[in-house]
């Protein structure tokens, strides 16, 4: 079962502070490993215009602002723009028919000029798993998965995304025990 294009949702029992109550959009998942970006951890610094200034991207202030989030603990000094698929560059990675991931400066330039993709967020870093690691964590009851939708990916209710994702599965986190078992 590969989860590319789905949301990975931390179980209420997740104790790892890097992933506690996280919602991760899965950009790639195969037998070779997995990669996604956390979509419910906004960052206030740097601001988008500060980041553009550091990268010498004009205009500054930009014609358009986008949300920044802490995308995960891997390569947190690097930016990844998760976006709707109507915009593309040669550096864009196709996730599914509706979404792409771009890590090149041309997308930031397009956004700063007021263009670029209709829906997007800039993730600083990503979450990554080696071959079989995510599958093992799922078997250990660390994660659930739900279908992704635009509101869950690009919406601004970051504090509510985790509960909303669980609610899609008709799960109330208050009913979970910290003990896992097998029948």
CB 143 within 8 A of CB 92: no
Considering the entire predicted model, what is its pTM? 0.92
Residue 78, pLDDT score: 95
Tokens (6 digits) for 2? 């590969």
The candidate with the shortest Cα–Cα distance to 121, out of 95, 97, 101, 104, is: 101
* Surface-to-core class of residue 147, CB atoms within 10 Å of its CB (0-12 exposed, 13-18 middle, 19+ buried): exposed
Kindly report, residue by residue over 43-95, the tens digit of the pLDDT: 988 999 999 999 999 998 899 999 999 999 999 999 999 999 999 999 999 99
Residue 172, pLDDT score: 83
183 pLDDT above the threshold of 70:
no
The CATH classification of domain 6-175, taken from the options 3.40.1740.10, 3.20.20.70, 3.20.20.105, 3.20.20.10: 3.40.1740.10
Kindly report, residue by residue over 86-143, the tens digit of the pLDDT: 999 999 999 999 999 999 999 999 999 999 999 999 999 999 999 999 999 999 999 9
Domain ranges of the chain: 6-175
């Amino acid at each position: 079962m590969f989860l590319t294009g789905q949301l990975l949702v931390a179980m209420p029992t997740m104790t790892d502070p890097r992933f506690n109550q996280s919602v991760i959009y899965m950009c790639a998942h195969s037998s070779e490993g997995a990669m996604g970006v956390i979509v419910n951890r906004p960052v206030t610094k740097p601001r988008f215009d500060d980041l553009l200034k550091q990268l010498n991207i004009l205009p500054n202030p930009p014609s358009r602002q986008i949300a920044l989030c802490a995308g995960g603990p891997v390569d947190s000094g690097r930016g990844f723009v998760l976006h709707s698929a109507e915009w593309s560059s040669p550096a864009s990675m196709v996730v599914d028919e509706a979404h792409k991931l771009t890590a090149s400066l041309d997308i930031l330039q397009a956004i700063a000029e007021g263009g670029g993709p209709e829906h997007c967020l800039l993730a600083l870093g990503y979450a990554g798993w080696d071959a079989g690691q995510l599958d093992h964590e799922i078997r250990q009851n660390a994660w659930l998965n739900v279908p992704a939708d635009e509101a869950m990916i690009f919406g601004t209710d970051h504090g509510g995304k985790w509960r909303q994702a669980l609610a899609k599965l008709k799960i109330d986190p208050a009913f979970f025990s910290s003990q896992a078992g097998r029948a």
